[in-house]
A and B are shown apart, each in its own frame.
Chain A
């Protein structure tokens, strides 16, 4: 059983077709990297998975459960959409941490709000809040940020912010964690620390979709690679297939421009 099945996803903005009949599958524990030049539709695809955009056609299935179907998308309530989007986590290029909360509070906030909405929260408040905090601290520790838990985002470096953002996404235990160019907003000397924690997550079999321009990283960490161009998947396969021995002309061109071998 695939953890994720994306079929025939298309998306138009005004008159430009940004995604054309995108289909792919993912297995649990897989790391899928999406490569492609600027404007190829990578961000749009991640945003559709996270319900930040609505696809015009197609469907998305997580664990055999249809979470999105363009044919009935308009009929879904906000609560249903919220439940479905929790299958996915999202790490943004620009972190989007909440500035008025400390690193720890950033990680805890959404979990707290979710737990508070449950009926059993009232009876077992203290234990639940303690559990949330313990797990959040554990996540920060995993990100190498134990000593930064009380810091506000403006007191953290870009690399630290992005690691807090990763912990924040992990706190909701998504089935699939999406990254949209997580290191593109970072100074080069800070990308390493973020890629390192992502590598650790991959080693722990976290299911991840990574949009990145860090091709050597994608080659090392991914189980599969998608190469997109002009809103379609041009080539798909293992890193050795797509990155080392690309078949398609457009893939070869893209990789040679990215000057890695």
Chain B
């Protein structure tokens, strides 16, 4: 116990640095995944058959295979198979590869959520807007958008909470996120070795961050409860 307390400052510093990387991956995924998911949602609903078919194929692939494999393929494939290691060897390259994998994977999930949201608004809403002389744009922004958001928030919340935990998968390509940081004290780092507790301790970071996200998201959900 005494040992743990004396190791604490060093460990926390490393974990904080790792957690920063976790957070960066988390927010980059949301930043890229939200818009790309919307594009893919429209793609999969397109009346132009080849486009919707291709989009659906992509979605099927990314939802049908483990994210861990996607990370490995995206990180190693260019170097090992194509002989062109586009990502380089450093942390920045690993972060870029991880971001791309996460954005692609998550935008597929997001696109299905958006599609559900868009299709959840009854056609009668659009028709009511049309007969009242509204433009397509007015109907989208003034009538349909909020109804879609209301429908999207609960499943989106689930994905976001899952994403927080999924970022740990980037460990597989040695991205120095928080699990990696915790694990380093098992092998030996900064004069500490054989310590397993730092890795268990990372769970608190996830719990606290997910706690904050849950509170924010349920606030948003509550805010939208004024209508049905």
Contact = CB atoms under 8 A, between A and B. Distances in A.
Nearest to B127: A52
A109 interface: yes
B80 interface: no
Interface string A167-181: 011001000000000
Contacts of A83: 133
Nearest to B121: A99
Interface string A80-91: 001101101110
A161 B129 CA distance: 16
A94 interface: yes
Nearest to A117: B135
B125 A90 contact: no
Contacts of B138: 113
A52 B129 CA distance: 11
Interface stretch (B13-21, B59-67, B140-148, B201-209): B140-148
B136 A78 contact: yes
B48 interface: no
A84 to B, nearest CB: 10
A166 B110 CA distance: 38
A89 B227 contact: no
A169 B129 CA distance: 11
Contacts of B227: 99-101, 152-154
B222 interface: no
B228 interface: yes
Interface string A204-226: 00000000000000000000000
A168 B132 contact: yes
A139 to B, nearest CB: 14
A100 B223 CA distance: 12
Chain B contact surface mostly:
helix
Interface residues of B, number: 22
A254 interface: no
Interface string B195-228: 0000000000000000000000000000000111
Contacts of A90: 128, 131
B126 to A, nearest CB: 9
B228 A99 contact: yes
A153 B226 CA distance: 11
A256 B122 CA distance: 36
A52 B130 contact: yes
B131 A113 contact: no
Contact of A98 (B130, B133, B135, B143): B143
Contacts of A114: 133
B145 to A, nearest CB: 9
A224 to B, nearest CB: 23
A135 B216 CA distance: 40
B134 interface: yes
Nearest to A178: B131
Contacts of B127: 52, 92, 96
Q: Name, among B125, B132, B134, B146, the residue most crowded by chain A CB atoms within 10 Å (CB to CB).
A: B132
Interface of B: 122, 124-125, 127-136, 138, 142-143, 146-147, 150, 226-228
Ranked 7 nearest A-B pairs via Cβ: A110-B132, A96-B128, A96-B124, A154-B228, A90-B131, A100-B227, A99-B227
9 contacts: A50-B131, A52-B127, A52-B131, A82-B133, A82-B134, A83-B133, A100-B147, A109-B132, A110-B132
